[in-house]
């Protein structure tokens, strides 16, 4: 295949230059994707609506509808992403996001509760974008650094695009655009689409992993049905707790993300839209530094254990920070930042380095995208379940009260599950070491 000038140039550059370019391109693509997914949650969407005779909070209806589409997309991605080769990834990213943008156009055109259908169509294509973007980065010696850079995009992007969304619906007298809640998401998407086209092109110019990359991290190949089933059967005892805890982590992370604006209002910061993005900056920096440091561990077996330790520390941090806040030893801003840092220390590795190191440590020729999408698919099922439980089981609790309770549950359960997974995969990787020494 003929390579472009940028690809040839990248192949001759140092690791630092290559990493800088790759992080910028991947970060920018996924950052732009969030402009089509999250701005709607910045609006209040006050009121109730009835769907098939069931009363639902309007905002919960819209969020659940989008998450169901996003979740279905993850299940489709188990097959599509794991089987897709390098060709066509860039066009697929643009096509999927264009479909999501057109779905947002239905939001102001449909009456409630059918606006939920528009949000379902919006979420349906977006769930596959992460796998396509990460496919450009996985299987390299620099995968931890690249993955940490990519992951910083969704930590920062969610708060930033919601800030843009807030600006769009502010009255013109307050310096905003004065748009209605229903037109705001489509408008934010229009703002970001030209930038998306440019950065997808830059991402598509990355060269394929080198022979040295494959030697260090195991060759990555598309996985068809037989290979996927064999992988799941072989490592089920370790994959089950990882998938289960990721369901809880995703539900908790999504709740914090979708209702951050509501929680900040209850904390007394509702008149400061900038807090939605400003508080995520130290979280992104902390996560990037912690996870990029794991790239210094060359031994894949030890690195896999270290990733588990970092993730377990993160979930412990969620519970400890919440206890300190309730004990009035930590202020609301410090608490929200500390909880976010702990959450993302545990959450981010699933999408970039956990399975990359896992595959390398057990010596299986596979693709990390497959397991990323298995855990993601079930993770968003957990998110739907948590929202429905809040609506029907704990409707009397405020968003913040519910979030505090979820913080303790997430911390305890995930710490235990991480310990079990670390013990299992340490043993599995030891078998490979014994086998190679013979």
Task: Classify residue 216: in a domain, yes or no.
Answer: no
Which of 367, 359, 346, 352 lies closest to 246, judged by CA?
346
Task: Classify residue 268: in a domain, yes or no.
Answer: yes
Where in the sequence is the domain holding 24, given as residue range(s)?
5-205+221-437
Mean pLDDT computed over 90-115: 94
Mean pLDDT computed over 266-276: 76
User: Which of 7-16, 17-26, 274-283, 314-323 bottoms out in mean pLDDT, i.e. has the lowest?
Assistant: 274-283
Beta strand 54-57 with 48-51 is antiparallel
Task: Classify residue 211: in a domain, yes or no.
Answer: no
Q: Evaluate if residue 382 carries a pLDDT over 70.
A: yes
Task: Classify residue 47: in a domain, yes or no.
Answer: yes
Burial class (CB in 10 A: 0-12, 13-18, 19+), 283: buried
Find the CATH number of the domain harbouring 79.
1.20.1250.20
146 falls in which pLDDT band (50, 70, 90)?
Answer: confident
Residue with tokens 């192949």: 11
Task: Classify residue 210: in a domain, yes or no.
Answer: no
pTM of the model: 0.77
Q: How many residues does the chain have?
A: 438
Which of 117-121, 271-275, 353-357 has the highest mean predicted lDDT (pLDDT)?
Answer: 117-121
> Is the separation of the CB atoms in 35 and 188 below 8 Å?
yes
- The tens digit of pLDDT for each residue in 291-349 reads 777 777 878 888 888 999 999 999 999 999 999 999 999 999 999 999 999 999 999 88
SS (H, E, C) the chain: CCCCHHHHHHHCCCHHHHHHHHHHHHHHHHHHHHCCCCHHHHCCCCCEEEECCEEEEHHHHHHHHHHHHHHHHHHHHHHHHHHCCCCCHHHHHHHHHHHHHHHHHHCCCCCCCCHHHHHHHHHHHHCCHHHHHHHCCCCCCCHHHHHHHHHHHHHHHHHHHHHHHHHHHCCHHHCCCCCCCCCHHHHHHHHHHHHHHHHHHHHHCCCCCCHHHHHHHCCECCCCHHHHHHHHHHHHHHHHHHHHHHHHHHHHHHHHHHCHHHHHHHCCCCCCCCHHHHCHHHHHHHHHHHHHHHHHCCCHHHHHHHHHHHHHHHHHHHHHHHHHHHCCCCCHHHHHHHHHHHHHHHHHHHHHCHHHHHHHHHCCCECHHHHHHHHHHHHHHHHHHHHHHHHHCCCCCCHHHHHHHHHHHHHHHHHHHHHHHHHHHHHHHHHHHHHHHC
Task: Classify residue 412: in a domain, yes or no.
Answer: yes
In total, how many domains does the chain have?
1
> Is the separation of the CB atoms in 401 and 263 below 8 Å?
no
Task: Classify residue 319: in a domain, yes or no.
Answer: yes
Task: Classify residue 403: in a domain, yes or no.
Answer: yes
> Is the separation of the CB atoms in 357 and 303 below 8 Å?
yes
What value does the mean pLDDT of the chain take? 85
Provide, rounded to the nearest whole percent, the portion of the chain with pLDDT above 70: 91
Mean pLDDT computed over 162-185: 90
């Amino acid at each position: 295949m003929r390579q472009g000038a940028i690809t040839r140039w990248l192949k001759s550059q140092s690791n630092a230059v290559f990493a800088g370019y790759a992080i910028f391109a991947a970060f920018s693509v996924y950052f732009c994707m969030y402009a089509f997914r999250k701005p709607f949650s910045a609006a209040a969407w006050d009121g109730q609506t009835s769907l098939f005779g069931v009363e639902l909070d309007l905002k919960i209806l819209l969020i659940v509808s989008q998450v169901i589409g996003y979740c279905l997309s993850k299940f489709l991605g188990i097959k599509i992403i794991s089987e897709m080769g390098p060709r066509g990834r860039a066009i697929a990213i643009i096509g999927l996001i264009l479909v999501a943008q057109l779905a947002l156009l239905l939001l102001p055109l449909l009456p409630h509760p059918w606006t939920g259908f528009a949000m379902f169509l919006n979420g349906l294509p977006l769930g596959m974008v992460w796998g396509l973007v990460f496919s450009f980065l996985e299987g390299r010696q620099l995968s931890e650094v690249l993955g940490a850079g990519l992951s910083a995009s969704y930590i920062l992007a969610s708060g930033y695009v919601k800030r843009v969304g807030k600006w769009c619906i502010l009255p013109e007298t307050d310096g905003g655009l004065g748009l209605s809640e229903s037109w705001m998401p489509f408008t934010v998407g229009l703002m970001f689409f030209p930038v998306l086209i440019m950065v997808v092109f830059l991402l598509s110019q990355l060269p394929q992993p080198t022979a040295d990359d494959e030697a260090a991290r195991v060759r990555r190949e598309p996985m068809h049905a037989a290979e996927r089933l064999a992988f799941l059967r072989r490592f089920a005892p370790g994959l089950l707790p990882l998938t289960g805890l990721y369901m809880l982590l995703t539900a908790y992370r999504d709740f914090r993300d979708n209702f951050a604006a509501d929680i900040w209002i209850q904390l007394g910061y509702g008149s400061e839209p900038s807090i939605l993005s400003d508080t995520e900056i130290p979280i992104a920096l902390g996560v990037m530094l912690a996870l990029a440091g794991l790239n210094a561990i060359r031994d894949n077996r030890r690195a896999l254990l270290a990733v588990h330790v970092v993730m377990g520390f993160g979930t412990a941090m969620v519970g400890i920070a919440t206890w300190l806040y309730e004990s009035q030893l930590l202020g609301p801003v410090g608490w929200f930042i500390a909880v976010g840092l702990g959450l993302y220390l545990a959450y981010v590795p699933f999408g970039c380095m956990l399975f990359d190191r896992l595959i390398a440590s057990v010596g299986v020729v596979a693709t990390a995208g497959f397991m990323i999408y298995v855990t993601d698919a079930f993770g968003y099922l957990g998110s739907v379940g948590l929202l429905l439980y809040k609506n029907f089981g704990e409707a009397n609790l405020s968003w913040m009260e519910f979030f505090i309770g979820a913080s303790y549950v997430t911390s305890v359960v995930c710490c235990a599950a991480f310990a079990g997974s670390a013990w299992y995969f340490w043993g599995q990787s030891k078998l490979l070491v014994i086998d190679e020494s013979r």
